[in-house]
Amino acid sequence: MILYDGFIKDIEALVHACDSVFPYSEPALKDAPKSNIMLLKDTAFELGGSSQPNVSTLAVSSDMHFDNCTYLIGQDLYTIKRDCAFGKIVLLEIADVSEDEAFEKIKELELVRYKYCPEGFMTRASALSMREQIRVGKKTVNKKISFKEYGNFLIKKYLSFPLVKSVKVVFITGDFDYTSLSVISEKIKSTTGALNHIFDNILFDCNSCNLKEICDEVEGMKELHRKTVQK
Ligand code: SF4
């Protein structure tokens, strides 16, 4: 699966100057309970809260290797005092399987952000808007929990999928070019939407298809649809 590679390169160029890099180590954070509710009175602040810029995206590649590190641009959790802008990027190296198999797995991998949350946090995510707001508990801040811990937790979850070979997680707080990140995230979402269209056996007619713009941009998409209808 190399259809997202161009967008991953664009993301890497956008986040090249990080403030901290945390190599993976065994996570100290446990899973939050199943019915995880964090009330406002227990919340120190919300990442991406108060209508601040907020972008969350995930992309996979079978020919790019990542270093299992957590990268941070901006302030770490225990130094943040109030709701702030927030970005979260997950890049995954996956095994080189067929596009249709990879597509099925991408859908499962996208569910990780809804299914798993570490204790001391509460996630509110929307696939439609590519937003992911995270409430951070007062106790979490008092314990000086870092993005390093959150990243380790996520990396372990992703590596538990046999298909996933390596991971890179990037957290962004405060000032950043969220507009450019949002544009790339929308293209990633559109690419997944086009794959959905292709594997739904929908007619191969680019001239009447509303996904033409993204398929014109992503190398290999039209070829994939052509191959799929010929099967
Ligand atoms: S390849 Fe053409 S028909 Fe298929 S999803 Fe893309 S634009 Fe639509």
The per-residue pLDDT for 172 is 98
**Number of the ligand 1 atom closest to the C-alpha atom of 221:** 1
Would the CB of 135 count as within 6 Å of ligand 1? no
Mutation test residue for ligand 1: of 198, 199, 223, 228, the one with most atoms within 8 Å of CB: 198
Round to whole Å and give the CA distance between 213 and 15. 25
pLDDT band per the 50, 70, 90 thresholds, residue 17: confident
Q: What is the 91 CA–ligand 1 centroid distance (Å)? A: 25
Are 161 and 190 spatial neighbours (Cβ–Cβ below 8 Å)? no
How many angstroms separate the Cα of 124 from the Cα of each of 97, 128, 154, 194?
Answer: 31, 12, 16, 26
Residue 61 pairs in a beta bridge with 93
**Number of the ligand 1 atom closest to the C-alpha atom of 226:** 1
- DSSP H/E element including 182: helix 178-199
Round to whole Å and give the CA distance between 74 and 69. 16
Question: 82-117 pLDDT, tens per residue?
Answer: 999 999 999 999 999 888 888 888 888 988 888 899
Mutation test residue for ligand 1: of 196, 204, 214, the one with most atoms within 8 Å of CB: 204
Mean pLDDT, rounded, of the chain: 93
CATH of domain 5-176: 3.30.1650.10
| 44 SS3 class | strand
The structure's pTM equals: 0.93
Round to whole Å and give the CA distance between 108 and 222. 24
